[in-house]
C-alpha cells in the first residue's frame, strides 16, 4: 500500500493522541452525582493523609480514666471521647480516622491491580486472538466459577494475616469481568482502519497496542477500576469481620468485628458499630457514583 | 368531488430540544380522498415521519402540535380528547412502519399480536379472532400455519406483509405507511406495493404512503405531496405533478430518478443540503439550492398557489413553471446554484 | 439440532470449569503451610484412624497419584472426615445445604419481586424527583456491607425491640421430627425473618437497577410505540410489551444472583448464627478443620457454577429468538 493511502487513514498525530488519551480519563465532572462521589473521595483522602493529626489517640492505645480505671465502653462525649470508647478502652473516633487509611490503601491498590490485569488479559486475548484468546478466556470461565468470598477466606487462612490478602485474591479472581469487557472492546478496535493501516505500514504489535489500543480501552479500565475500589473495601470489611484480617491494622471491618464480638449489639452501643458501617457505605457508594459518571461518558444515552 | 376523508389545514409540529423549538412540520395542508393513495415524498429529515405519526397522535416525548388541524371524517384529530383519539387508533387509522422487524414484539408470535388487536381493540372473541387472523393471512398471502411463528422467523418481505395484515385487522379507513418498502429488494417492493393498491381497490381504504422514492410514487399513487424542509412545496395528481412539476424542487427531484428523467437521459442530483430546521432561512427554504431563486425568494415565504386545478405549488415563479421546467431538464442548470 | 450443539458445548464448558475448580481446590489445600497430611489427618485421630485415612487418600503416594485418588473419591462422594464432627464431610455439608438454599432463595425471591416492580416504576417515572432520590439510594444499599446491615437489624429489632430472635433456626431445646417439620414451623420462619430481610435489602438493588435500565431501553423500541399507535391500554403497553421484554435479562440474572448470594451468605450466616454452609466454612477454616472447609467450599462452588449454567440455559429458554432457531 502506498504512503499516500496509509497517511490518509493514519491515526491522529502525537499531540492529538495525547490529548485524546488525557481526555478519555477526564473526571466525570458533568454529572452531579459523580462530583459528589469525587468530593467524598477527597474527604477520605484528606482524612487518611492527616490521620495522625486528626486522631486524638493512637487507635490501639488502651486508655484509662482519670481514676486510672480502664476507659471501657464510654458513651460519646464522655471524657472528651468524641465517639466513645471500645470495650477494651480504645478511642473509637481515632480508629475511624485511621480506618480510612486501610480502606483507601486496599481499595486503590486492588482497583489498580484488577484494572491492570484485566486490561492486559483483555488486550492480549482480543488483539492476538487464537490460542492466547482461548486460553485466557477459559481461565476467565474458571475464575467465574470460583466463589470469591470463600476463596478469600481460605486464602487468608493459609497466608499470613495481612491486609494484602484481599488484594491478592482480587488479583487472582476478579480480573475476569474487566478482562472480558476489555477483550470485546479490543476486538472492535483491532479492525479499525488506522490499526489496519499501522499494521500494513509495519508497526510492531507492541507499538500498535501501546499507541492505538491501550489509550482507547483506558476509560473502560477506569470504569472497572472505580467499581473494584468498592468491592475491595467491602471484601476487606467482610474478611476482617470474620476474623481473618490483619489484627495489627485498624480497619472499619475490624472495628465491626470487635464491636460484634464485644456484644455491642446487645448493649445497644450504636455509636460503636454505626459509624464504621456508615463510612464504608459512603466510600463505596462514592465509587459507584463516579463509575456511573464514567459510564455516561462511555455509553452516552439520550435521556438518562 | 366527494368529501375528503382527511383534510390537513396548516398543521405544524415542533420538537423541543434543550430550550429551543425545531419546527419539523410547518403549515402543512392537503387532502386525502376516500379510496386513494397519497404519496408523501421528500428528502430524509424533511418531516415525513413526523407528519405521518402526528395523525396517530403518538409522537416523541418532546414533540408538540404547534398549530393547525387535521379533519378526519368530520372530527379534528388534533383537538380530540386522548380518550376519543384512542377510539380512532387502529379502528379507523392504522399504521405500517418502515421496519416491521422492530415494530413487532419479539417475544410474542405474530398470531398472538394479531389476536391482541382483534380482541382488545376489535372486541372479537377468541375463535372469531382466530378465524379473522387466518383470513387476514390468506389475504396478504402467508400460509395460515405460520400464525404460530415468531417475528424473527419471517423474511423481511413476509414481515412487511404481517404488518399489512395487522394494519388491516380492524378494517380501518386510513392506513399510514411510513416507508413500508424502503428496506426491501425491488421484487418484493413490487409485491407489497401491489398489495397496497389492492387494498385501495378492493377495500376502498385510503393510504398515505411515505417514501423518498419517486418511482414508488409513480407506481401506485393517485396524488403526491412533496415536502421540503418541513413545508409542503407541491401537491397534485400524481401524473401531472411528476410529468409537469410546478416547483423547482420537484423538478430537481425528478432528475434524480432514472425512469422519470428519461427526457434528460442522465441523473442530476440537487447540489447542497437541506437547511437546518432549528434556524431555517427566511423566505423560500429551497432558495439556497434553487437555480431559479430571485431576490424576493430570500425574503418572502411563498404560499401554496393553484398551478392548474387541484395541482398546487409554493413558488414565487409558479407562473413561469413551463419555462423553468424546460431549463431544469439541462443538467448544467443544477451545477452552480444561483 | 443447532440448539442441542450449543447446549452440549455449554455443558462441556461447565464440566471443564468444575474440574478446574476442583483441581485448584486440591492444590490449594495441599500447598498450604504445614504437613501435606494436614488436609486430611487430625493429629488427635487414633493411629488406626490415621492409617485408614492415609490409605483412603493415598497420602503416602506421589502428588499426582493423590490427585487421581482424590478425584476418584470425589466421584464416589467421599470428601473425607471432619476433624471436629468426626463425621463424613459429605454428610455434614449436604445437611447444611438446605438451610443455606432456603435463606438464599427466599431472600432473592423477595428482592426480585420488589426490585422488578420498583425498577419498572422508576423507569416509568424517569426524570422525576422520585427517581432522582431513589436511584442514589438504591446504589447506597448496594454499597452496604451485608453483615453490617444484619448487625443493625439485630440491634434494633432483636436486642432493641425484642421482636425477633438473635440467631439460629429454632428456639433453644426445640426438636423436630424431620427437616420438613422444622421448615414448616412458624418458629423457623420467625428466626429466618431478619437474615432474609438483610439479604433481601442488599440484593434488591441488582434487579431494580437492571429492570429500570432495560425498561428505559425497551420503552424506546419501535414495538412499544406501535403498541401505543394500536391504541392498546397503558397497561398493555407497559406490562404486556415493555415489561415482558425488559424482564428477560432480569430473570436470567436471578440465577447469577443465586451464585453471588450464596457467597455473600458467609457473613450473614455468621451474624445470625445460621447453620448454613457459609458459617460452616468460616468455622472450619478458623478451627483448621480442613476436610470440612474443602467440602463446604466445593459445595458453594458447585452452586455457583451450576447457577452460571442455569442462567445461560434460562436465557435461551425464555427468549424465543434463541429457542426457535
Ligand atoms: N424526537 C425528536 N427530537 C428532535 N428532533 C427530531 C425528533 N424526531 C425528529 N426530529 C427532527 O425532525 C426532522 C424531521 O424528522 P422526520 O423523522 O420526520 O423526517 P423524515 O422525513 O421522516 O426523514 P427520513 O426520511 O430520514 O425518515 C428532522 O430534522 C429530525 O432531525
Ligand atoms: S420560490 Fe424562488 S427559490 Fe423558491 S423554489 Fe420558487 S424560485 Fe426557487
Ligand atoms: Mg422517516
Residue pLDDT, tens place only, C275-306: 888 888 888 888 877 888 888 889 899 988 99
Other residues' Cβ atoms within 10 Å of the Cβ of residue B138: 12
In this prediction, residue C98 has a pLDDT band, given cuts at 50, 70 and 90, of: confident
Write down the pLDDT at residue A7. 40
Query: How large is the average pLDDT for residues B13-34?
Result: 91
Whether residue B9 contacts residue B29, with contact meaning beta carbons closer than 8 Å, is answered with yes
Residue with more model confidence, B94 or A43:
B94
In this prediction, residue B337 has a pLDDT band, given cuts at 50, 70 and 90, of: low
Other residues' Cβ atoms within 10 Å of the Cβ of residue A30: 11
What is the average pLDDT score of chain C?
A: 82
Which residue in C222, C225, C231, C242 has the most chain B C-beta atoms within 10 A of its own C-beta, making it the best mutation to test that interface? C231
**What's the rounded Cα separation, in Å, for the pair A29 and C315?**
37
ipTM value: 0.89
The verdict on residue A215 lying in a domain is yes
What is the average pLDDT score of chain B?
A: 88
The verdict on residue A131 lying in a domain is yes
Distance B67 CA to ligand 1 centre (A): 18
Q: What is the pLDDT of residues A124-169, one digit of tens each?
A: 988 888 888 889 988 888 888 888 888 888 888 778 778 788 888 8
User: Is C301–A146 a contact, with Cβ atoms under 8 angstroms apart?
Assistant: yes
Write down the pLDDT at residue B209. 93
| Percent of chain C residues past pLDDT 70, beyond the cut | 85
Which ligand 2 atom is at minimum distance from the Cα of B318? 6
Write down the pLDDT at residue B263. 45
Write down the pLDDT at residue A57. 67
Rounded to a whole number, what is the distance in Å from the CA of A252 to chain C's nearest CA? Answer: 11
**What's the rounded Cα separation, in Å, for the pair A228 and A224?**
6
**What's the rounded Cα separation, in Å, for the pair A250 and A93?**
12
Q: What is the CATH number of the domain that holds A297?
A: 1.10.3720.10
Rounded to a whole number, what is the distance in Å from the CA of A288 to chain C's nearest CA? Answer: 7
In this prediction, residue C134 has a pLDDT band, given cuts at 50, 70 and 90, of: confident
Task: Output the 3-class SS for B311-326.
Answer: EEECCCCHHHHHHHHH
Which segments within C150-237 are labelled E, that is strand?
Answer: none
**Residue count of chain C:** 325
What is the average pLDDT score of chain A?
A: 77
Residue B315 scores a pLDDT above 80 = yes
Residue B231 scores a pLDDT above 90 = yes
Residue B24 scores a pLDDT above 90 = yes
Residue B26 scores a pLDDT above 70 = yes
How are beta strands B75-76 and B63-72 bridged, if at all?
A: antiparallel
Write down the pLDDT at residue B230. 93
Write down the pLDDT at residue A5. 39
A177 chain-C contacts, CB cut-off 8 A: none
How many separate domains does chain A show? 1
Order of all β-strands in the sheet with B37-41? B93-96, B174-178, B206-211, B37-41, B223-228, B231-237, B311-313, B305-308
Domain boundaries, chain B: 101-171, 252-334
Largest CA distance in chain C: 82
Of residues C144, C159, C300, nearest to A266 (C-beta): C159
| Percent of chain A residues past pLDDT 70, beyond the cut | 73
Whether residue C254 contacts residue C112, with contact meaning beta carbons closer than 8 Å, is answered with yes
Q: What is the pLDDT of residues C243-282, one digit of tens each?
A: 888 888 888 888 888 888 888 888 888 888 888 888 888 8
In this prediction, residue B261 has a pLDDT band, given cuts at 50, 70 and 90, of: very low
Beta bridge partners of B227: B232
Backbone φ and ψ for C6, nearest 5 degrees, come out as -60, -45
Residue A287 scores a pLDDT above 90 = no
What is the torsion angle, in degrees rounded to the nearest 10, for the CA atoms of residue A239, residue A244, residue A250 and residue A256?
60
Query: How large is the average pLDDT for residues C186-199?
Result: 80
Residue B247 scores a pLDDT above 90 = yes
Residue A4 scores a pLDDT above 50 = no
Q: Which chains touch C (3 or more CB pairs under 8 A)?
A: A, B
Whether residue C168 contacts residue A282, with contact meaning beta carbons closer than 8 Å, is answered with no
Query: How large is the average pLDDT for residues A242-263?
Result: 78
Residue A85 scores a pLDDT above 70 = no
Write down the pLDDT at residue B55. 93
Write down the pLDDT at residue A3. 41
C324 chain-B contacts, CB cut-off 8 A: 149-150, 152-153
Write down the pLDDT at residue B270. 80
Whether residue B311 contacts residue B240, with contact meaning beta carbons closer than 8 Å, is answered with yes
Write down the pLDDT at residue A9. 43
Residue B338 scores a pLDDT above 60 = no
Query: How large is the average pLDDT for residues C8-13?
Result: 86
| Percent of chain B residues past pLDDT 90, beyond the cut | 50
Q: Which residues line ligand 2 (CB under 6 A)?
A: B 247-248, 284, 286-287, 290, 292-294, 297, 302, 315-317
Query: How large is the average pLDDT for residues C87-92?
Result: 83
Structural domain boundaries, residue A53: 47-57+76-302
Q: What is the pLDDT of residues A38-83, one digit of tens each?
A: 888 888 888 777 767 766 667 676 656 666 666 666 666 666 666 6
CA atoms within a 13 Å half-sphere pointing along the CA-CB vector of A185: 25
User: Is C245–B105 a contact, with Cβ atoms under 8 angstroms apart?
Assistant: yes
Q: What is the pLDDT of residues C136-181, one digit of tens each?
A: 888 888 888 888 888 888 777 766 666 767 777 666 666 666 767 6
Write down the pLDDT at residue A89. 61
User: Is C145–A142 a contact, with Cβ atoms under 8 angstroms apart?
Assistant: no
Write down the pLDDT at residue A8. 41
Rounded to a whole number, what is the distance in Å from the CA of B107 to chain C's nearest CA? Answer: 6
Write down the pLDDT at residue A78. 63
Residue B268 scores a pLDDT above 50 = yes
Residue C32 scores a pLDDT above 70 = no
Residue with more model confidence, B38 or A52:
B38
Other residues' Cβ atoms within 10 Å of the Cβ of residue C74: 16
Q: Which residues line ligand 1 (CB under 6 A)?
A: B 15, 17, 22, 24, 42, 44-50, 60, 62, 212, 277
The whole-model pTM stands at 0.80
Amino acid at each position: 500500500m502506498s504512503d499516500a493511502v496509509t497517511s490518509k487513514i493514519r491515526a491522529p498525530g502525537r499531540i492529538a493522541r495525547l490529548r485524546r488519551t488525557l481526555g478519555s480519563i477526564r473526571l466525570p465532572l458533568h454529572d452531579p452525582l459523580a462530583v459528589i462521589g469525587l468530593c467524598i473521595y477527597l474527604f477520605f483522602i484528606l482524612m487518611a493523609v492527616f490521620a495522625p493529626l486528626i486522631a486524638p489517640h493512637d487507635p490501639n492505645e488502651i486508655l484509662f480514666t482519670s481514676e486510672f480505671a480502664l476507659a471501657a465502653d464510654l458513651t460519646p462525649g464522655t471524657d472528651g471521647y468524641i465517639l466513645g470508647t471500645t470495650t477494651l478502652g480504645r478511642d473509637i473516633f481515632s480508629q475511624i480516622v485511621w480506618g480510612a487509611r486501610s480502606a483507601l490503601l486496599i481499595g486503590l491498590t486492588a482497583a489498580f491491580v484488577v484494572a491492570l490485569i484485566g486490561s492486559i488479559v483483555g488486550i492480549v486475548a482480543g488483539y492476538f486472538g487464537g490460542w492466547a484468546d482461548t486460553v485466557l478466556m477459559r481461565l476467565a470461565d474458571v475464575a467465574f466459577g470460583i466463589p470469591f468470598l470463600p476463596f478469600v477466606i481460605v486464602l487468608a487462612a493459609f497466608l499470613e494475616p495481612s491486609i494484602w490478602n484481599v488484594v491478592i485474591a482480587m488479583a487472582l479472581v476478579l480480573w475476569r469481568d474487566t478482562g472480558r469487557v476489555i477483550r470485546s472492546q479490543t476486538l472492535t478496535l483491532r479492525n479499525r482502519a488506522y490499526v489496519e493501516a499501522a499494521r500494513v505500514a509495519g508497526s510492531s504489535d507492541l507499538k500498535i497496542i501501546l499507541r492505538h489500543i491501550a489509550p482507547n480501552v483506558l476509560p473502560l479500565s477506569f470504569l472497572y477500576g472505580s467499581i473494584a475500589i468498592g468491592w475491595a473495601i467491602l471484601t476487606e470489611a467482610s474478611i476482617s469481620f470474620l476474623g481473618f484480617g490483619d489484627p495489627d491494622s485498624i480497619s472499619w471491618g475490624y472495628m465491626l468485628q470487635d464491636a460484634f464480638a464485644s456484644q455491642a449489639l446487645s448493649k445497644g452501643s450504636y455509636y460503636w458499630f454505626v459509624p464504621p458501617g456508615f463510612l464504608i457505605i459512603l466510600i463505596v457508594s462514592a465509587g459507584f457514583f463516579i463509575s456511573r459518571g464514567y459510564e455516561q461518558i462511555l455509553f452516552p444515552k439520550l435521556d438518562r | 368531488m366527494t368529501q375528503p376523508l382527511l383534510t390537513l389545514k396548516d398543521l405544524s409540529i415542533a420538537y423541543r430540544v434543550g430550550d429551543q423549538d425545531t419546527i419539523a412540520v410547518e403549515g402543512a395542508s392537503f387532502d386525502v380522498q376516500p379510496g386513494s393513495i397519497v404519496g408523501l415524498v421528500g428528502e430524509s429529515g424533511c418531516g415525513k415521519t413526523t407528519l405521518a405519526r402526528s395523525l396517530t397522535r403518538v409522537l416523541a416525548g418532546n414533540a408538540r402540535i404547534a398549530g393547525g388541524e387535521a379533519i378526519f371524517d368530520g372530527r379534528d384529530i388534533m383537538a380530540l380528547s386522548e380518550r376519543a383519539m384512542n377510539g380512532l387508533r387502529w379502528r379507523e387509522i392504522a399504521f405500517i412502519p418502515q421496519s416491521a422487524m422492530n415494530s413487532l414484539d419479539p417475544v410474542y408470535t405474530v398470531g398472538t399480536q394479531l389476536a391482541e388487536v382483534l380482541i382488545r381493540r376489535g372486541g372479537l372473541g377468541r375463535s372469531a379472532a382466530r378465524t379473522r387472523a387466518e383470513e387476514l393471512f390468506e389475504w396478504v398471502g402467508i400460509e395460515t400455519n405460520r400464525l404460530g411463528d415468531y417475528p424473527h422467523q419471517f423474511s423481511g418481505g413476509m414481515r412487511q406483509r404481517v404488518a399489512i395484515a395487522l394494519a388491516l385487522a380492524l378494517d380501518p379507513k386510513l392506513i399510514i405507511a411510513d416507508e413500508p418498502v424502503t428496506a426491501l429488494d425491488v421484487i418484493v417492493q413490487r409485491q407489497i406495493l401491489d398489495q397496497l393498491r389492492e387494498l385501495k381497490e378492493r377495500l376502498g381504504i385510503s393510504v398515505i404512503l411515505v417514501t423518498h422514492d419517486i418511482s414508488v410514487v409513480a407506481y401506485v399513487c393517485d396524488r403526491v405531496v412533496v415536502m421540503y424542509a418541513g413545508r409542503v412545496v407541491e401537491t397534485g395528481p400524481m401524473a401531472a405533478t411528476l410529468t409537469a412539476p410546478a416547483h423547482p424542487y420537484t423538478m430537481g427531484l425528478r432528475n434524480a430518478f432514472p425512469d422519470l428523467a428519461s427526457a434528460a437521459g442522465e441523473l442530476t442530483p440537487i447540489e447542497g443540503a437541506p437547511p437546518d430546521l432549528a434556524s431555517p432561512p427566511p423566505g423560500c427554504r429551497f432558495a439556497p439550492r434553487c437555480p431559479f431563486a430571485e431576490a424576493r425568494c430570500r425574503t418572502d415565504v411563498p404560499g401554496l398557489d393553484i398551478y392548474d386545478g387541484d395541482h398546487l405549488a409554493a413558488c414565487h415563479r409558479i407562473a413561469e413553471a413551463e419555462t423553468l421546467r424546460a431549463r431544469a431538464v439541462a443538467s448544467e442548470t443544477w451545477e452552480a446554484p444561483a | 439440532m443447532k440448539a442441542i450443539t450449543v447446549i452440549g458445548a455449554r455443558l462441556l464448558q461447565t464440566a471443564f470449569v468444575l474440574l478446574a475448580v476442583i483441581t485448584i481446590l486440591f492444590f490449594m489445600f495441599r500447598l498450604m503451610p504445614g504437613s501435606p497430611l494436614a488436609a486430611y489427618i487430625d493429629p488427635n485421630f487414633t493411629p488406626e484412624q490415621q492409617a485408614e485415612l492415609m490409605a483412603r487418600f493415598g497420602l503416602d503416594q506421589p502428588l499426582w497419584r493423590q490427585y487421581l485418588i482424590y478425584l476418584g473419591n470425589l466421584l464416589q462422594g467421599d470428601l473425607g472426615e471432619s476433624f471436629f464432627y468426626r463425621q463424613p464431610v459429605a454428610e455434614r455439608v449436604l445437611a447444611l445445604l438446605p438451610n443455606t438454599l432456603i435463606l438464599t432463595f427466599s431472600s432473592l425471591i423477595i428482592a426480585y419481586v420488589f426490585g422488578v416492580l420498583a425498577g419498572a416504576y422508576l423507569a416509568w417515572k424517569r426524570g422525576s424527583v422520585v427517581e432522582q432520590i431513589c436511584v442514589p439510594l438504591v446504589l447506597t444499599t448496594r454499597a452496604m456491607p451485608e453483615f453490617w446491615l444484619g448487625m443493625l437489624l439485630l440491634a434494633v429489632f432483636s436486642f432493641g425491640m425484642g421482636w425477633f430472635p438473635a440467631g439460629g433456626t429454632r428456639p433453644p431445646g426445640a426438636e423436630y421430627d424431620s427437616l420438613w417439620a422444622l421448615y414448616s414451623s412458624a418458629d423457623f420462619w420467625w428466626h429466618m425473618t431478619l437474615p432474609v430481610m438483610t439479604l433481601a435489602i442488599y440484593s434488591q438493588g441488582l434487579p431494580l437497577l437492571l429492570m429500570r435500565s432495560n425498561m428505559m431501553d425497551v420503552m424506546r423500541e419501535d414495538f412499544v410505540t406501535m403498541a401505543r399507535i394500536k391504541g392498546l391500554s397503558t397497561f398493555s403497553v407497559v406490562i404486556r410489551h415493555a415489561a415482558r421484554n425488559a424482564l428477560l435479562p432480569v430473570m436470567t440474572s436471578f440465577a447469577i444472583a443465586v451464585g453471588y448470594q450464596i457467597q455473600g451468605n458467609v457473613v450473614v450466616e455468621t451474624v445470625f448464627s445460621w447453620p448454613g454452609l457459609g458459617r460452616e466454612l468460616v468455622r472450619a477454616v478458623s478451627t483448621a478443620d480442613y476436610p470440612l472447609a474443602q467440602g463446604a467450599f466445593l459445595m458453594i462452588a458447585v452452586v455457583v457454577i451450576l447457577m452460571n449454567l442455569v442462567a445461560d440455559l434460562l436465557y435461551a429458554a425464555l427468549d424465543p429468538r434463541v429457542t426457535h432457531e
